Structure formats: structure tokens, C-alpha cells
Amino acid sequence: MEEKKRYSDEELEEFRAIINGKLELAKRDYKRIMDELTNTNSNGIDDTSPTFHALEEGSGMQTKEQLFALANRTQKFINGLQAALVRIDKKTYGICRETGKLIPKERLRAVPHATLCIEVKQQNRLH
């Protein structure tokens, strides 16, 4: 049996839905972080996030530096998800950029912006 070279259009659409869901949540989180950093949030009772509620109470759990780091990580995640959508459009999504083999669906469902199969990722971590 010949090894599959790419995911089908139907499979790509499944991944697109997963990515769009994660992207929506990440953008919402990023906005909350930036609102907190710029003090433009309403500080009203509609905020249900425990992290931000703790900040409102002045608990000092997160400093501005930590919020900046979180904002940077969130933006990097958003960029990765957006790049994954481009790869879906080009029908190159899910292909390991080093081996050229398909990244297993389980990995892509867990890390939808992955560009490396787990074996390559682990090897890179060791070096």
C-alpha cells in the first residue's frame, strides 16, 4: 500500500475547524491580556476569568512582565495557527517540514500548528 502524501480535503477541513476554534479563543485571551496591560478593561462584574479577577483584587499573582510574556506567547500561538491555515489552503498542512511525511492526526489535533513530526521534535530537543 502506497504511503499517503497529504491529508484529504475533508481531513483538512476538519483541521481548519479545530484551528479556527483555537484561534478564536487565543484572540480573545490576547485581547484580555492587552486590556489588562493597558488598563482599558472595564473591571466590571462581567469578567469571569479567575486570573484577571485575581489581578483586579490586587493579589499580585502576575506582574506586568509576566503579562507581557504571556501576551508574547499568545501572539506567537496565534501566528502559528494563522500559518497553519495558510498551509491548509496550500494543501501542505500536516506534512513534517523535515521528513516530508505526514504528521499523525493525533499530534495535529493536540498541536494543530505543528510543523514537525514528534520524532523530529524530540531529536531537535536533544540537540
The pTM assigned to this predicted structure is: 0.76
* 35 is a domain residue: yes
Residue 106 maps to a domain: no
Length of the chain: 127
Residue 73 lies in a domain: yes
Q: By C-alpha distance, which of 73, 78, 69, 71 is closest to 22?
A: 78
pLDDT the model gives residue 4: 80
Domain region containing 27: 9-93
So what's the pLDDT on residue 51?
53
At 103 the pLDDT is 96
Three-state secondary-structure class, residue 119: helix
Q: Can you tell me the distance from the alpha carbon of 122 to that of 97, in angstroms, rounded to the nearest whole number?
A: 14
Position 113 in a domain:
no
**How deeply is 45 buried, as exposed, middle or buried, from its count of CB atoms within 10 A (0-12, 13-18, 19+)?**
exposed
Please choose, from the candidates 120, 96, 93, 101, the residue with its C-alpha nearest in 3D space to the C-alpha of residue 18: 93
Blockwise average pLDDT, block size 10, the chain, 127 residues: 83 97 97 88 51 52 83 97 98 95 95 94 82
What's the number of domains the chain is made of?
A: 1
d(CA 21, CA 96): 23
Domain assignment of residue 98, yes or no: no
Which pLDDT value is given to residue 11?
Answer: 97
Per-residue model confidence (pLDDT) at position 124: 83
